[in-house]
């Protein structure tokens, strides 16, 4: 099982304008739930001005939309609640310590995305534009050739770190925000991380020979306690692709982290971070897919292409059990020392893009099943058949569903029977690259402190 986890995009931002039609895993004709073919959605700012959710997002944004828990709360509750919260500067203060926050918006046009963009001083109209299929030919090709999941939600309404922890450990241990510099330095300074207890993530519960992390520059997964004992399981992209081509990948689980380029304001990263060029991310997807398709492992593989969280971008599906079929209600959990914003982990985040690529998946499969990041580990558990108790020992893992129902073919599709993947669009190099000492703000937006830049490398 290969997993490529990218950064900070909602489902509608990537696939909203894609005309994805096909069949459910049960063979019923259907269409993916995006923006196309629906009345235009709007988002209203704090002054009452309505902005239409439009096409043609820039390949690279000049700003990073808010996606902390407090931002996501404003975006999800919307309406008068969003305006009231932003008036109280909710995004910049330690609030909600009692775990009480407004209910989700009644509908898509009530969501508070314009409110949050405006509160940060960002260009609202630009922030509300979504990408089109011609801008991301590789991702759209794979969504058409294999399976797209239009009900995959981030595991919590907030940023990168807790959502990636949910994917790899089934919990964030109460972390509901991006770690501060002091938290990060204390946990990642050269000697491995202190998030978790050292035996509660996929990378410590699986045998060291069962997993591999292929990273571009800085693997965020190094922030999991205990992984520093298995540094040889962290390899560069170049080494991973070489091993794949030669048939020397023994791991059952390969977690692929993109080049983030936090020290360069993400401009040259491949992660799909809004401050980087999405064409670089599409090119990474192309490279990973083609490497697996032409490798000896194709006929026994599944590649999950997934985004960690919505990145502050509009999505029209309100993440609530009364709206989303199959979404379970989450019981509030008690705060921990890592809980800063008072979140009780009783809500999911917004939808994120998820594409499942496998020779056992029929072309044009569209899955409306509810998933979150725990579904990755739940599916992996079926593959590795972990004998020593559950693969992850958390309530969220126990309750998660897997996506094995997508594997409907008895015989694998041969690589030469699948249309050739188009190339990602070419990218002109950036005019300037930020100097290291000027990149603190962008670097901190992913919250890897400068002093941990080489941790795990």
Q: Which residues of the chain have pLDDT under 50?
A: 91-95, 97, 185-193, 431-457
CA torsion, points 76, 406, 256, 345, in degrees to nearest 10? 30
Q: What is the separation of C-alpha 343 from the centre of its chain, rounded to a whole number of angstroms?
A: 20
Structure tokens at 420: 């050739």
Place of tokens 């571009």: 216
What pLDDT score does 316 carry? 98
Q: Pairing relation of β-strands 29-31 and 234-236?
A: unpaired
Structure tokens at 80: 């008068």
What pLDDT score does 198 carry? 59
Contact 165, 178 (CB under 8 A): no
The CATH architecture of the domain made up of 2-36+132-452 is: 3-Layer(aba) Sandwich (3.40)
What pLDDT score does 183 carry? 59
Contact 289, 336 (CB under 8 A): no
The Cβ-side half-sphere exposure at 205, using a 13 Å CA radius, reads 22
Pick the closest to residue 156 from 267, 57, 73 (CA basis): 73
Tens of pLDDT, residue by residue over 391-429, are: 999 999 999 999 999 999 999 998 888 999 999 999 976
Tens of pLDDT, residue by residue over 282-317, are: 999 999 999 999 999 999 999 999 999 999 999 999
Structure pTM? 0.92
The Cβ of residue 423 has, within 10 Å, a number of other Cβ atoms equal to 12
Ramachandran bin of 115, using left for φ above 0, alpha for ψ from -120 to 50, beta for the remaining angles: alpha
- Alpha-carbon span 344 to 322, nearest angstrom: 19
Task: Provide the percentage of residues in the chain whose pLDDT is more than 90.
Answer: 73
- Alpha-carbon span 46 to 457, nearest angstrom: 44
Name every residue whose Cβ is closer than 8 Å to that of residue 94 and which is 6 or more positions away in sequence: 340, 341, 342
Contact 99, 141 (CB under 8 A): no
Structure tokens at 206: 């699986």
Contact 391, 381 (CB under 8 A): yes
What pLDDT score does 192 carry? 42
């Amino acid at each position: 099982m290969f997993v490529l986890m990218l950064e900070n995009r909602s489902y509608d931002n990537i696939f909203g304008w894609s005309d994805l039609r096909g069949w459910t895993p049960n063979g019923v004709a259907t269409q993916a739930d995006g923006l196309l073919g629906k009345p235009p959605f709007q988002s209203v700012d704090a002054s009452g001005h309505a902005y239409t959710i439009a096409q043609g997002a820039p390949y690279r944004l000049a700003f990073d939309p808010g996606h902390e828990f407090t931002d996501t709360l404003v975006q999800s509750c919307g309406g008068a609640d969003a305006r009231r919260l932003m008036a109280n500067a909710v995004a910049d203060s330690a609030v909600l310590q009692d775990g009480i926050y407004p209910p989700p918006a009644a509908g898509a046009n009530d969501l508070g995305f314009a409110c949050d963009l405006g509160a940060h001083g960002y260009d609202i109209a630009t922030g509300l534009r979504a990408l089109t299929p011609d801008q991301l030919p590789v991702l759209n090709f794979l969504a058409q050739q294999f399976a797209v999941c239009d009900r995959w939600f981030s595991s919590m309404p907030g940023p990168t770190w807790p959502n990636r922890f949910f994917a790899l450990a089934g919990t964030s241990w109460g972390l509901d925000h991006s770690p501060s510099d002091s938290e990060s330095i204390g946990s990642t300074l050269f000697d491995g991380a202190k998030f978790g207890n050292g035996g509660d993530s996929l990378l410590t519960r699986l045998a060291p020979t069962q997993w591999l992390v292929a990273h571009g520059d800085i693997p965020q997964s190094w922030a999991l306690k205990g992984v520093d004992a298995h540094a040889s399981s962290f390899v560069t992209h170049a080494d991973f692709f070489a091993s794949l081509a030669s048939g020397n990948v023994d791991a059952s689980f390969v977690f692929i982290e993109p080049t983030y380029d936090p020290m360069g304001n993400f401009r040259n990263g491949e992660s799909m971070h809004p401050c980087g060029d999405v064409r670089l991310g599409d090119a990474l997807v192309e490279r990973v897919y083609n490497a697996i398709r032409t490798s000896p492992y194709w006929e026994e593989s599944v590649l999950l292409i997934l985004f960690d969280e919505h990145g502050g971008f509009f999505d029209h599906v309100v993440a609530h059990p009364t709206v989303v079929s199959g979404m379970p209600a989450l019981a509030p959990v008690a705060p921990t020392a890592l809980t800063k914003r008072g979140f009780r982990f009783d809500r999911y985040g917004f939808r994120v893009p998820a594409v499942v690529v496998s020779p056992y998946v029929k072309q044009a499969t569209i899955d409306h099943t509810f998933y979150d990041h725990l579904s990755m580990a739940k599916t992996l558990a079926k593959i590795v058949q972990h004998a020593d108790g559950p693969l992850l020992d958390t309530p969220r893992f126990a309750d998660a569903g897997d996506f094995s129902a997508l594997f409907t073919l008895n015989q694998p599709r041969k690589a030469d029977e699948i249309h050739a993947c188009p190339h990602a669009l070419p990218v002109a190099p950036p005019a300037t690259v930020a100097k290291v000492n000027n990149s603190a703000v962008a670097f901190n937006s992913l919250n890897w402190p400068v002093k941990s830049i080489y941790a795990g490398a």
